Amino acid sequence: MLRWRLLLGTLLIAALVGLCWLDARSGLPGAWLMPVALTAAVLATREVLDLAERAQLHPLRWTVYGGNVLAVLGSWLSMLGAVHGCAAGGVGVSLGLGAAVLLVFLGELFRYRQPGGNTANLAAGVFAVVYVGVMLSFAIQLRGYGLGALAAWIVVVKMGDTGAYFTGRLLGRHKLAPRISPGKTAEGAIGALAWSCFGAWLVIRVLGPWIGHNSPTGPWWGWLLFGLLVGTVGLLGDLAESLLKRDVGVKDSSTWLPGFGGVLDILDSLLLSAPVAWCCWTLGWLG
């Protein structure tokens, strides 16, 4: 299983690198990456809704799918507006998210027949929009800072995942959150942060000029804080999805990616860390 996981992981990384290369040479930022974001949003939405159904929650599926697509598209239009100097570019994010939540509400309004369960279904639908659509919106905004910003976020989070896995296997003795994720250890968490910081240094300080980010102009400690913050929230994101799965008694969000589980199992640490990464770049800590 480990060999298959490494092989599939390598193929996914190679495909992502190729898409980033094509996107960097496109005249429209996100032209090649947006289809990937939309596909990820749809597949992750399906898995969140499947988990909700296991918890006896039944939000109207098409409204959640549509809401997350609107959120992602609104964020992309906002990013394009900002890149091209449009003062109202940021309005796209608010409009996209507002339209997404409104769509979920409208769906439940038209579906209403009798009291009982409607508020819970509405809450589950809005949660799915926030968890998938809102978090991915921040990831799309990172593209506005260049491919270097996007690469730094992904590398830091995934190196943290890798560090947690191997450090935990080699040195793990003390359980981190045994009721939520019995396999995670405190030693693995320390390894995750160490690898995340190394990934931040590698991408921001060393490889920056080759991946679309000029020499850093922010404070020298920016990369270190970025690695610590993004790595920590990435670890929490992994635990957050484990909480959802543990609550409904499943190991993986789906089974169509052997060795990984589902799309949500790949995105879990990325989703919650996206706003943190965006804040770090927006505050100028990384240039």
Residue range 195-205, pLDDT digits in tens = 999 999 998 88
Q: What is the mean pLDDT of the chain?
A: 87
The pTM for the full model equals 0.91
Burial class, 79, CB count within 10 angstroms (exposed 0-12 / middle 13-18 / buried 19+)? buried
The reported pLDDT for the residue numbered 134 is 92
The average pLDDT across 228-238 equals 96
Percent of the chain with pLDDT over 70: 88
- At residue 66, what are phi and psi to the nearest 5 degrees? -65, -40
The answer on pLDDT for 254 being more than 90 is no
Question: Cα 24 from chain centroid?
Answer: 21
How far apart (Å, rounded) are the C-alpha atoms in residues 57 and 75? 28
Question: Where do the structural domains in the chain lie, given as residue ranges?
Answer: 33-144, 147-287
Tens digits of residue pLDDT in 73-91? 999 988 888 777 665 555 6
Query: What is the per-residue pLDDT for 216?
Result: 55
Q: Which stretch of 60-69, 163-172, 249-258, 264-273 has the lowest confidence by average pLDDT? A: 249-258
